[in-house]
Structures are given as C-alpha cells and as structure tokens.
C-alpha cells in the first residue's frame, strides 16, 4: 500500500513538473507612477517631473521624465510628491487609548482576545491608509500582534508590513507589568513566558520564549513609564546584568532590541548593554546622548505620545497626569540636544497611546523642534529601515527595492504637514489606497 502511494505521488509530481515547464509564469505587470515631484529618501532635494517604473512588487527605475515602457499601466497623480512608504518604529496596533481613560480601561477588561484581534485589523488598515507601509509593534499580549502580522503577510487582512515583539520584557512590578493593583487582581503573577523577570538567567529565558513564539524584535522596559500606575517614570527598573543578558541573548538569536527608557540612568545602562534603540528618552542627559552617538544607538522619540497624554481634555488619574507632565516638560529639550549631538533618530510615535492613523503628526512635531523636513522624512525612511534591519528592501525609492510608495499633495519640504494628507498608498507594488479624482 505504501509503495503504491509513493508511485502515485511520484506520478503527480512529474505531471505537475511537466505542466510547469509547458506554461512559464507570466511576466510581472508594469506600473508607472507620475507626479510633479519625487523625494526618494537618499538626499535633501526633490526631483521634478517624477516617474517611477514598477515591475511586479519591485521598483525598476526612478527619475525625471523617464520614458513610459510599452504595455505599462500609468497612474498620473498630478501636483503631488511621491515618497517612500513611511515606517513607524514604535506602534501598538493591538490597543488604543480612548478619550475617556476610565471607560477605556473598563472596556479593555471586558473584551475577549478574538475581539482584540478584530479590533486590531481596523487599526492596521487606518495605519496603512495614513501612508505607513511598515511598522515595528513593540508590545502586545495574547499573540494578537503575531496573528495580525501573519494575517497581513498572507493577505487575509489589510495592513502594513509588521515586525512584532510579543510581550515586552521588564521587572516584576515594573512598567510592563500590571502595577498599582492589589495582589491577585489579575490572577497569578506573570513570569518569563510573559516577559516578567528577575535576574539575568530569567532575562535570557524570557528572550528565548518570545522568539520561540514569534517575536521579530525584543522590547524591554528598563525604566518606569507614564501610563502605569505604580512606578516612578524616571526610575531604573532592570539591573545592568538583566539588560546585558537580554540584549546578548537577543543578538545571539539575530533579533534587534528596543528599550523603553524615560530615565537617564536606565537609558545609559541600556546603551552600555548594547541596546539598538532607546524609546522615548525623556530625561536623558548630554552624557547619555554622547554615549548613544559613539555607539550608534538610535533614538525613537515618540513625540506624539507626549502630545496626547498632556492634551487639555486628558482625564488620567492624578498619578499618571503628574508623570505625563514631568516627562513632557523635558522631552523637547532632550530632542533638540539629541539633534545637536548627531544622535541617529528613527521615526516612531507610540501609536495606540493616541488614536491610530494620526501617526504623521509626528513629522510636524519633529520639524517644530528643529529637524529639517528632509531629515524628518528620512527618519521615517532609511533611518527607520536601518533600525529595523530592512534597509535592503525598504526605506528609499531605489531600483530593486519594494515598491512601497505614498503620495501627498504639494511639496513636504515646503510644508511638512502635507504628510498628514496622504491620498495614495502602494505597498509591494499593489495600490492600497487611491482617493477618487486622483
């Protein structure tokens, strides 16, 4: 019986092989995008009379006034600028802060995991529609981020390309734990399987477990945070040994690392431990910034999160409101000093703290604090791509790279706020959004 099945299988393999030889695959479709301008992410200027030739999912050619290949489908976007698809290096697509904090907290407790998964799909689409074709999702629970990443990759749902971290690593009782509540409110204490650790050995085990179950990147909370109830926003929460062990294990497994760090000493310890990026960095001093510059550590500033938590209508509990005020009071000065020192900066917003789809407002905040429009666009292009380890595929509009392309009206180098008016989105050569009349 087994021999007969093997013979049948061999027959079908041979038959399908012959069919494949007889019917070669069709050539990839050619698409041409035309617009008044092109900012390719490699410099400080726009190219006029822009043309991008796309073959299948890849960029074939870019330039000014290129000839249109025979048989190509042409999309003329008029008085617009073509840009590399934006990259947000700090998102939380499985959650979203609500206008009413207490109502949102209550609703979060009542939702099932499948509901969270369906909800995350809507956040993913809003993010893609806003022009963000790739995101790094740094913190989620119940594998909602892993499932969403996989579903998008398989074309089951619409959304950006995702790198995910699963559970963030952190100290028991720290920012990434459920702090500020009586014992057993949420059941047994979490351990390394959900990122809560004590000691270097548990840090390594926590990394291994996140990678085992699908993490692309390792996120850790080395200092206190704003939206947690039971900690000081600037306090160090992981030991130097824990940080170094987690980073070493992640890098050994070829995963990059990101550290939530508002506090200066915590950020400095993470940089010394080899972290790839500091998220937030509100209280960092010149000494820590100099160390980041020397070691090539990225800053992901997440300015939009600060805007949201200190908005006039915010209704957070007093402990959270006080921490938000303290962090935002110093973050702008830190950002200006980071710019002056030459620290590498990658675009990241903390979307999920504020409503998804508003990520592009980060551009205006960065420019308002002294960054040039071109540098802000590159932060969401080649800089973020480098941080994510995806430079060979995305981040600039160059031949051979994925055709992740967005269009905005006018010229973003003259008015960075047009990045908030994306009307055309292409991801991997496929048009995901094109507003009527364009």
CATH class for the domain made up of 30-84+396-434: mainly beta
pTM of this structure: 0.92
Cα separation of 260 and 239, whole Å?
14
Exposure class string for 50-82: b at 16+ Cβ within 10 A, else e: bbbbbbebbbbebeeebeeeeeeeebebeebbb
Q: What is the pLDDT along the chain (438 residues), one digit of tens a residue?
A: 455 554 444 544 454 454 445 566 777 899 999 999 999 999 999 999 999 999 999 999 999 999 999 999 999 999 999 999 999 999 999 999 888 888 988 899 899 999 999 999 999 999 999 999 999 999 999 999 999 999 999 999 999 999 999 999 999 888 888 888 888 888 787 888 888 899 999 999 999 999 999 999 999 999 999 988 878 898 999 999 999 999 999 999 999 999 999 999 999 999 999 999 999 999 999 999 999 999 999 999 999 999 999 999 999 999 899 999 999 999 999 999 999 999 999 999 999 999 999 999 999 999 999 999 999 999 999 999 999 999 999 999 999 999 999 999 999 999 999 999 999 999 999 999 999 867
Provide the token pair at 102.
């207490």
Torsion of CA 285, 287, 290, 295, to 10 degrees: -110
Torsion of CA 297, 345, 144, 223, to 10 degrees: 60
Q: Cβ contacts of residue 22 below 8 Å, gap of 6+? A: none
Cα separation of 207 and 248, whole Å?
10
pLDDT at 20: 47
Provide the token pair at 78.
């008029």
Question: Roughly what angle, to the nearest 10 degrees, separates helices 286-295 and 264-272?
Answer: 20
Query: Do the first three CATH levels of 30-84+396-434 and 86-388 match, i.e. the same topology?
Result: no
Ranges of each domain in the chain: 30-84+396-434, 86-388
Cα separation of 413 and 249, whole Å?
41
273 beta partners: none
pLDDT at 24: 67
Provide the token pair at 77.
């976007």
Cα separation of 330 and 310, whole Å?
13
Q: Cβ contacts of residue 361 below 8 Å, gap of 6+? A: 304, 307, 420
pLDDT at 436: 81
Nearest to 91 by CA among 360, 250, 302, 330: 302
CATH tag, 86-388: 3.20.20.140
């Amino acid at each position: 019986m087994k021999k007969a099945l093997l013979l049948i299988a061999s027959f079908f393999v041979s038959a399908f092989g012959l069919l494949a030889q007889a019917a070669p695959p069709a050539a990839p479709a050619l698409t041409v995008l035309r617009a008044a301008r092109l900012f390719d992410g490699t410099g400080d200027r726009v190219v006029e009379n822009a043309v991008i030739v796309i073959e299948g999912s890849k960029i074939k050619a870019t330039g000014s006034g290129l000839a249109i290949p025979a048989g190509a489908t042409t999309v003329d976007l008029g008085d617009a600028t073509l840009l590399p698809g934006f990259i947000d290096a700090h998102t939380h697509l499985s959650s979203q802060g609500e206008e009413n904090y207490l109502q949102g907290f209550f609703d979060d407790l009542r939702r099932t995991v499948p509901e969270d998964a369906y909800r995350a799909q809507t956040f993913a689409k809003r993010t893609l529609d806003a022009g963000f074709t790739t995101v790094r999702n740094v913190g989620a629970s119940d594998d909602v981020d892993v499932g969403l990443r996989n579903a998008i990759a398989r074309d089951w749902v619409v959304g950006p390309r995702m790198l995910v971290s699963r559970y963030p690593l952190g100290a028991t009782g720290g920012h990434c734990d459920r702090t500020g509540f009586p014992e057993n409110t949420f059941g047994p204490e979490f351990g390394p399987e959900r990122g809560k650790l004590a000691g270097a050995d548990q840090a390594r085990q926590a990394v291994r477990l996140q990678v085992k179950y699908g993490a692309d990147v390792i996120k850790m909370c080395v200092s206190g945070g704003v939206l947690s109830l039971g900690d000081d926003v600037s306090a160090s929460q992981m030991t130097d040994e824990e940080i170094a062990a987690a980073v070493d294990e992640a890098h050994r497994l070829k995963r990059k690392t990101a550290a939530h760090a508002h506090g200066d000493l915590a950020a400095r310890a993470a940089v010394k431990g080899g972290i790839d990026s500091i998220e937030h960095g509100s209280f960092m001093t010149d000494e820590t910034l100099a160390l980041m510059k020397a070691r090539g550590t990225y800053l992901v500033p997440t300015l939009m999160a600060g805007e949201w938590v200190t908005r006039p209508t915010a209704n957070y509990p007093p402990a959270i409101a006080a921490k938000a005020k303290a962090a935002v009071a110093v973050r702008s000065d830190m950002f200006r000093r980071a710019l002056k020192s030459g620290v590498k900066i990658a675009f990241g917003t903390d979307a999920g703290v504020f409503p998804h789809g508003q990520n592009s407002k980060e551009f205006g905040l960065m420019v308002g604090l002294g960054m040039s429009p071109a540098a802000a666009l590159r932060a969401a292009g080649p800089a973020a791509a480098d941080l994510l380890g995806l430079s060979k595929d995305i981040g600039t509009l160059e031949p051979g790279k994925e055709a992740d392309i967005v269009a905005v009206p006018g010229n973003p180098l003259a008015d960075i706020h047009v990045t908030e008016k994306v009307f055309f989105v292409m991801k991997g050569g496929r048009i995901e959004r094109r507003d009527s009349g364009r």
